[in-house]
């Protein structure tokens, strides 16, 4: 049985919803799954005035616990086409893990949310995937076995690089059924890949 960590940062709750869907997919594939988040680094008054979602229930992750997982799926919204500083600050603390190769050979994956359809989903995923490759992890995307990647019926997130959603400029659009199904599918593929490597 694979042990999977879904590690995320969510400003308005969209990535949090995707994180829970990724976890559902991984659990359905037989994995043991923890959902954790990285700390908020924005000043509290800024976060409150900007209507950040501050009631997230997932516990805060620590860098030291990462080697205890067979797979780590990282989710974060896009900031100017890259991961936000909150996730970057967390990953910047992993130098010791990198130096010792503590994450080499483990499974890694990325998911994201953007305000607009072309707001940098793939570049944000690649900013996460770059870290995973530097750790020596085996990267899993969202394969075309998920039929939602080719839908023409509606605007939807998702790409071969990972699950995603489109939030709208004011966060008014919630993840669609296709977006959440894509996240579940990616979680399932991550869990099955980890089970093959570590089962």
Closest CA to 157 of 188, 178, 173: 178
Residue 134 assigned as binding residue: yes
Residue 79 assigned as binding residue: yes
Do the Cβ atoms of 119 and 159 come closer than 8 Å? no
Residue 14 assigned as binding residue: yes
d(CA 140, CA 162): 8
- Segments in 32-170 forming alpha helices (H): 44-49, 85-91, 95-100, 121-135
Quote the tokens at residue 121: 């989903």
What sign results for the dihedral spanned by CA atoms 175, 77, 171, 117? negative
Residue 25 assigned as binding residue: no
Residue 15 assigned as binding residue: yes
Quote the tokens at residue 126: 């690649």
Residue 145 assigned as binding residue: no
Map residue 40 onto helix, strand or coil. Answer: coil
Residue 10 assigned as binding residue: yes
Residue 193 assigned as binding residue: no
Residue 164 assigned as binding residue: no
Residue 78 assigned as binding residue: yes
Closest CA to 136 of 110, 161, 102: 102
d(CA 81, CA 116): 11
Beta carbons within 10 angstroms of residue 123's beta carbon:
16
Q: Which residues make up each annotated binding site for FMN?
A: 10-15, 78-80, 134
Q: Which residues make up each annotated binding site for substrate?
A: 98
Q: Which residues make up each annotated binding site for NAD(+)?
A: 12
Q: Which residues make up each annotated binding site?
A: 10-15, 78-80, 98, 134
């Amino acid at each position: 049985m694979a042990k999977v960590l879904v590690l995320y940062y969510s400003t308005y709750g969209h990535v949090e919803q995707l994180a829970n869907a990724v976890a559902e997919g991984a659990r359905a594939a037989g994995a043991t799954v923890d959902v954790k988040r990285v700390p908020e680094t924005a000043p509290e008054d800024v976060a409150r005035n900007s209507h950040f979602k501050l009631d997230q229930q997932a516990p805060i992750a620590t860098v030291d616990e990462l080697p205890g997982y067979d797979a780590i799926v990282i989710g974060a919204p896009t900031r100017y086409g890259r991961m936000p500083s909150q996730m970057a600050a967390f990953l910047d603390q992993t130098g010791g893990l990198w130096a010792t190769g503590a994450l080499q050979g483990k499974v890694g994956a990325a998911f994201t949310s953007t305000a607009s359809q072309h707001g940098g989903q793939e570049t944000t995923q690649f900013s996460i995937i770059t870290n995973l490759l530097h750790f020596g992890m085996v990267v899993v995307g969202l394969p075309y076995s998920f039929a939602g990647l080719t839908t023409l019926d509606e605007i939807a997130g998702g790409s071969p690089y990972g699950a995603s959603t489109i939030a709208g400029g004011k966060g008014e659009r919630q993840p669609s059924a296709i977006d959440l199904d894509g996240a579940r599918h990616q979680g399932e593929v991550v869990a099955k890949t980890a089970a093959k490597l570590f089962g």
